[in-house]
Amino acid sequence: MYLEKLSNLIRWYTKTSPITEGKKQLINLTKRFIIPANPNQMATMKHGFNLELNLSNSEHLRMWLYSDHDERYETNCLKSLIKPNNICWDIGANIGFYTCFFAQNISTNGHVYTFEPAKETYKYLCRQINNNNFDEKVTPYQLGIGAQQEDVNLYYDNANSAEGTASIVESDTKKHHEIIKIDSIDNLLSNKVIKPANIIKIDVEGYQANVLLGGKEFFTKNSPTILIELKESDKNSMRKVEEIIRDYGFLIFEINKRSLTPCKNITKSKKRNFLLRKK
């Protein structure tokens, strides 16, 4: 009982206090006492929605401890841009943090299309949607987004941990794989499977160029706001993605605490995520 109260108190503090300095030290000192033995936990995020988490996954553990994603500048930025009637795409949804974040910030006049190809992670995603009663606002697809329709391997370490680093890019460090289906943005739009988006999040672990190439018609003709993870170890791959982005007419911005800064070269930036907007 005492440890449960201590856990609730510390998590209340990390969730509600605007002070960031010192939180990590507090967590490091107390986490062996406050983390529950059962890794499967439900947690309420500070944005107002609930997430089912597996605390054996370090990304999930952080969300449980802080009631938030580690991308708080990104979510603050998106929250200021989302309108109630927006159409949002979550490409590489994982367990659905951004899916739920989008759904929480739109009305029933908006909609979220969310894509997660991994079988077990997709189950997590669907449960998050159901647990938060977002069924009318969100349409999930067990599907990867790429340059064309095809079946490919998805590589990961542990299917049951819903890891956020599963990747279509082959890796010697990933122990397991499964075959997933891929489709392109332009194909989904032409078949009226999805509606054109105002806001897009892309987190696809090295597959960004394929996603962008498969949406050439859409991205050339439209001006969505895009949050995209671009930091990769392969600098040549990053340069290729940047070239595609600029060819489509997008400007690239670094996301800071209270501002956006134009980015001239993503390979020289220390940021992981970037905001893309047209003039």
Spell 62-94 as b/e; 16+ CB within 10 A means b: bbbbbbbbebebbbebbeeebeeebbbbbbbbb
How distant is the alpha carbon of residue 49 from its chain centre? 15
| DSSP one-letter string for 58-108 | HHHHHHHHHSS-S-HHHHHHHHHH--TT-EEEEES-TTSHHHHHHHHTS-T
How far is residue 57's CA from residue 39's CA, in Å, rounded to a whole number?
Answer: 9
Residues spanned by CATH 3.40.50.150 within the chain? Answer: 72-277
Q: What angle (nearest 5°) sits at the alpha carbon of residue 227, between those of residues 250 and 111?
A: 105
CATH class of residue range 72-277: alpha beta
105 to 62, 232, 276: CA distances (angstroms): 23, 30, 20
CB 93 within 8 A of CB 114: yes
Predicted confidence at residue 159, as pLDDT, reads 63
Q: In tens digits, what is the pLDDT along the chain, a chain of 279 residues?
A: 667 787 888 888 887 776 566 677 888 888 888 889 999 999 999 999 999 999 999 899 999 998 999 999 999 999 999 999 999 999 999 999 999 999 999 999 999 999 999 999 999 999 999 999 999 999 999 999 999 999 999 988 876 667 667 777 776 666 778 999 999 999 999 999 999 999 999 999 889 999 999 999 999 999 999 999 998 778 899 999 999 999 999 999 999 999 999 999 999 999 999 999 998
